[in-house]
Amino acid sequence: MSDEALRSTELRKIYRSKGAPAVTALAGVSMDVRRGERVALLGRNGAGKTTFLRIASTLLRPTSGSIEVFGFDVDRTPEKVRPFIAVVPQEGKPFFHLTPREQVYTYLRARGFGRETARSRTEESLERMGLTEFGDRLSITLSGGQRQRTMVATVIATEAPLLFLDEPTIGMDPFARRGVWDSLRTLTQRGSTILLTTHYLDEADALADRLYIVERGEVLVSGSAEDLKRAVGGTLKVSMPQGAGEIERFRSFGTCVADGAGLTVIVAPERLGELMALAVGSRLTATVGPVTLEEAFLYVVGRSIDAD
Amino acid sequence: MRTDRVVIPRPFGGLSAFLWTEFLVQIHEELAMATSMIVQGVLLVFVWVLNPSLIGVALLGAVVFSMFTMGQRVLNEAAYVRIDHKASDLYLASPLTPEAYFLGMSAGVLLVYLPPVVAVAVLAELVVHLTVGVALLLLGVSVAVWISAASIGYVLSTQFRDNRAIWAYSSLFFNVFGVLPPVFYPIGLFPSELRPIVLLMPPSAAAALLQRAIGSATLPAWEVALAAIGLAVEALALFLLAVVWARRTVRSN
Ligand SMILES: Nc1ncnc2c1ncn2[C@@H]1O[C@H](COP(=O)(O)OP(=O)(O)OP(=O)(O)O)[C@@H](O)[C@H]1O
Ligand SMILES: [Mg+2]
């Protein structure tokens, strides 16, 4: 039995539609997700994240390459894969004329769960997503974030072996997002595997064991958030709101990014004192903080865009 | 978590649960339910005013027409929840079988919109005094028309990317095929050269068989056979097509 929950090899997808040029959405993506892992797919708009998730979840056919879920070929035997997966689609919405309680419960029943299990999972899931208070209101009367919570509640209630979540926390407040993170952690502790996409890099940092950064249908880098941050060349960042004009004097310390009048320098801890002395000498206000995944992302993807 | 043992869902697995889901979704649409019989009502009034002796034909026609327009509801619903809600992604990337998704949705819609149709059928019984044979025929052709229409509706629903395009087409399609051919009026009034065509269309075939059964139309044996066999074969073929289609269109290209 395969140890991998998901493995793709040289997966390619070219969208062809009448009267429009062909679009290469995936240009040979190879990745693997081990059982029990939480993996995040990051990338700019149009990078190919949704395309990958849709192929992996049996909703879209690849152009070439192969992809397996729990050892079953997704393209050749999708019906063997479907019992193991659950999907939060990008921009999905619950049925407007069901209440969150009905939405989750009927979904579980449609997936074949018995009444008792469906009922108790529904309550647990609503509770986790903070929906108990709204559980009996039609979804049409809920706010955007509450609807999105209903979608996530619907899918996590399945405790499926492999969950695909496409921007699951979009539009959620910080409390709700943390609720989702906790639930996803609990699910992986219970044995599920999770592949998600997100544009919130703090979320990827907090949640994912490993990340894949995709750009124009190709994997740019993969690894843990820490690996990625190290790749930027330092673990600290110094921000100087008025420093852009002095950028040349700071180049020797590490990566420098000018943004309007401001300047950000990525620096190794050993050289921080020296840099601060220079900043003070230049009468610049400087604040020090840790490098975030967002900066690592901007650095890695920015470098790839520049290279073209 | 066991993933070494696959249990491939049985054909139509999840049907009753998804039917129930769709029923709950539809039952909240009071306005749509209230307006579901308007076209039929208007046409019945027309017939009543113009020729009251044809009201029995028109009442049976209204039942057939109502079953046919269930297909329009399936078309609109399937496209709407797929495009606007991504409900198909949620439900089809799961052990729920695609054919149960199609049939459950169709049957859920039927269940909600059936009561007023039953009322019209009861009215027909009061006016025409249906024999048991005619009542059974009405039941049979209604099922066949519904299956045909729901199957066409589901298959068509997969062909659209935008809901606004559908609404125009779907009401055109279902109204023209349900109103223009002899469904509300006797087939005897229809040009005889064109009769084979309307006898091959599910709603008018069903209406012709009913009209003959209540003595409002005389058809040669071959036309009866054409209508009856045609309706049965079409219903079966369209249903099988929709099942195969539902399975194939889970994955787009
Ligand atoms: N149905 C389609 N037909 C043609 N091109 C498509 C289709 N769907 C997506 N694309 C194109 O494929 C590429 C990848 O799209 P995809 O939706 O996978 O991106 P994404 O990484 O999910 O972006 P986002 O962050 O905006 O959700 C884009 O260039 C997009 O325009
Ligand atoms: Mg996307």
Q: What is the full DSSP assignment across B182-215?
A: TTSS-GGGS-GGGHHHHHTSHHHHHHHHHHHHTT
CB B65 within 8 A of CB B39: yes
In a domain, B9, yes or no: no
Cα–Cα distance for residue pair A70/A4, rounded to 1 Å: 6
- Confidence band, pLDDT 50/70/90 cuts, at residue B1: low
Identify whether residues A148 and A32 lie together within a single domain. Answer: yes
Q: Chain-centre distance of CA A249, in angstroms?
A: 37
* Atom of ligand 1 minimally distant from the CA of A48: 18
Q: Locate the chain B residue with the closest alpha carbon to A151.
A: B90
Q: Residue A273: which CATH number?
A: 3.30.70
Domain assignment of residue B238, yes or no: yes
Rounded CA-CA distance B196/B227 in Å is: 8
Least confident segment among B93-97, B152-156, B157-161, B246-250 = B157-161
Residue A155 amino acid letter: V
Residues A216 and A252 in one domain: no
ipTM value: 0.93
Asked if B86 and A91 come within 8 Å (Cβ–Cβ), the reply is yes
Total domains in chain B come to 1
> CA A99 to CA B93: how far, in whole Å?
22
* Domain range enclosing A241: 233-290
B74 CA to centre of own chain: 9
List CB contacts of B172: < 8 A, sequence separation 6 or more. Answer: none
- Chain B CB contacts of A85 under 8 Å are 93-94
- Taking the C-alpha atoms of residue A69 and residue A192, their distance in angstroms, rounded to an integer, is 13
Closest CA to B55 of B205, B216, B222: B216
Q: How far apart are CA A173 and CA B164, in angstroms?
A: 33
**Cα–Cα distance between A203 and A37 in angstroms, integer?**
15
B35 within domain boundaries: yes
- Average pLDDT on B55-65 reads 97
Helix (H/G/I), strand (E/B), else coil: B154: helix
Q: How far is the CA of A51 from the centre of ligand 1 (A)?
A: 6
- Measured CA to CA, the distance from residue A178 to residue A206 in angstroms comes to 9
Shared domain for A30 and A178, answered yes or no, is yes
Q: Separation of A77 CA from ligand 1 center, angstroms?
A: 25
What confidence score (pLDDT) does residue A294 get?
87
Angle between helices B132-157 and B55-83 (to 10 degrees): 30
CA distance A220 to A32: 15
Contact (CB, 8 A) for A165 and A177: no
Torsion of the alpha carbons at B184, B185, B186 and B188, rounded to the nearest 10: -140
A23 in contact with B at a CB cutoff of 8 Å?
no
Please say whether the dihedral angle defined by the alpha carbons of residues A77, A78, A83 and A85, taken in this order, is positive or negative.
positive
CB contact under 8 A, B6 and A111: no
Helix (H, G, I), strand (E, B) or coil at A161: coil
Helices (H) and strands (E) in chain A, counts: 11, 14
Domain assignment present for B1: no
Tell whether A251 is covered by a domain: yes
Q: Are residues A161 and A258 in the same domain?
A: no
Place B164 in a pLDDT band, splitting at 50, 70 and 90.
Answer: confident
Report the candidate in B82, B233, B230 with the shortest Cα–Cα distance to residue B154.
Answer: B82
Q: What is the pLDDT of residue B4?
A: 65
Share of chain B above pLDDT 90, in %: 82
In a domain, A179, yes or no: yes
The DSSP letter of residue A37 is -
Alpha-helical (H) ranges within A129-241 are: 144-156, 174-189, 201-207, 225-231
Q: Which of B86, B95, B100 sits opposite A92 (nearest CB)?
A: B86
A38 and A117, same structural domain? Answer: yes
Report which secondary-structure segment, H or E, holds B166. Answer: helix B163-179
Please tell me if residue A191 touches chain B, with a CB cutoff of 8 Å.
yes
Residue pair B186/B218 in contact by the 8 Å Cβ criterion: no
CA–CA distance, A7 with A28 (Å, rounded to integer): 13
In a domain, A304, yes or no: no
Interchain pair A109, B21: CB under 8 A: yes
User: Does ligand 1 have an atom closer than 6 angstroms to the CB of A189?
Assistant: no
Q: What angle do CA A240, A242, A245 make, to 5 degrees?
A: 105
Tally of structural domains, chain A: 2
Residues A215 and A247 in one domain: no
CATH number for the domain including A116?
A: 3.40.50.300
On chain A, the residues whose CB falls within 8 A of the CB of B103 are none
**Calpha distance B32→B70 (Å, rounded):** 12
Helix %, strand %, coil % for chain B, to 5?
75, 0, 25
User: What whole-number distance in Å separates Cα of residue B19 and Cα of residue B26?
Assistant: 11
In a domain, B7, yes or no: no
B11 and B99 in contact (C-beta within 8 Å)? yes
Secondary structure letter of residue A95 according to DSSP: -
Report which secondary-structure segment, H or E, holds A88: strand A85-88
> Mean pLDDT of residues grouped by 10 in chain A (308 residues)?
88 93 96 97 96 98 97 96 97 96 97 96 96 96 97 98 97 96 97 96 95 96 90 85 91 87 90 93 92 86 76
Rounded to 5 degrees, φ, ψ at A164 are: -110, 125
**B203: its two tokens:** 């709603």
- The C-alpha of A154 sits at a distance from chain B's nearest C-alpha, in angstroms, of 9
Residues A264 and A191 in one domain: no
Contact A110 B94 (CB under 8 A): yes
B5, part of any domain: no
- Mean pLDDT of all residues in B170-189: 90
Q: Which residue of B has its CA nearest to A61?
A: B253
Pairwise CB contact (< 8 Å): B89 & A190 = no
Residue A279 maps to a domain? yes
For the CA of A199, the nearest ligand: 1
* Beta-carbon separation of A161 and B1 below 8 A: yes
Q: Among A224, A247, A278, where does a domain finish?
A: A224
With a 6 Å cutoff on the Cβ, whether A157 touches ligand 1 is no
CB neighbourhood size of A57 (10 A): 27
Provide, as residue numbers in chain A, all residues whose Cβ is less than 8 Å from the Cβ of B100.
Answer: 110
**Token pair of B135, please?**
């009542």
Count of CB pairs separated by less than 8 Å, A with B: 122
Q: CA-nearest residue of chain A to B6? A: A80
Chain B residues with CB under 8 Å of A91 CB are 86
Residues paired with A15 in a beta bridge: A23
Q: What is the least distance, in Å, from the CA of A89 to any CA of chain B? A: 6
Tokens 């309680």 found at: A101
Residue appearing with tokens 């979904």: A107
Alpha carbon distance A282, A275 (integer Å):
11
- Measured in Å, residue A21 CA sits from the centre of ligand 2 at 20
Same domain, A165 and A244: no
Are A211 and A239 members of one domain? no
Same domain assignment for residues A171 and A122:
yes
pLDDT, tens only, A129-156: 999 999 999 999 999 999 999 999 999 9
CA-based angle A126:A132:A138, to the nearest 5? 90
Domain, as residue range, for B144: 15-252
d(CA B78, CA B171): 15
Residues 6+ apart with CB under 8 A from B92: A58, A59, A82, B98, B101, B250
My answer on whether A169 and A279 are in the same domain is: no
Ligand 1 atom closest to Cα of residue A13: 12
A106 touches chain B (CB under 8 A): yes
Residue B77: its H or E element: helix B55-83
Residue B170 has pLDDT above 90, yes or no: no
String of DSSP letters for B171-186? HHHHHHHHHSSTTSS-
pLDDT, tens digit, 9 for 90 and up, residues B214-227: 999 999 999 999 99
Based on the fold, state whether residues A278 and A156 are members of the same structural domain.
no
Domain boundary among A224, A252, A271: A224
Place of tokens 């492999």: A162
B81–A contact, CB cutoff 8 A: yes
Amino acid in the structure at residue A243: G
3-state secondary structure at position A34: strand
- Residues near ion ligand 2 (CB < 5 Å) are A 49-50, 90
Q: Single out the residue in A190, A205, A224 at which a domain terminates.
A: A224
Report the C-alpha gap between A259 and A243 in whole angstroms.
9
pLDDT at A14: 97
Task: Please tell me the predicted confidence (pLDDT) of residue B32.
Answer: 84
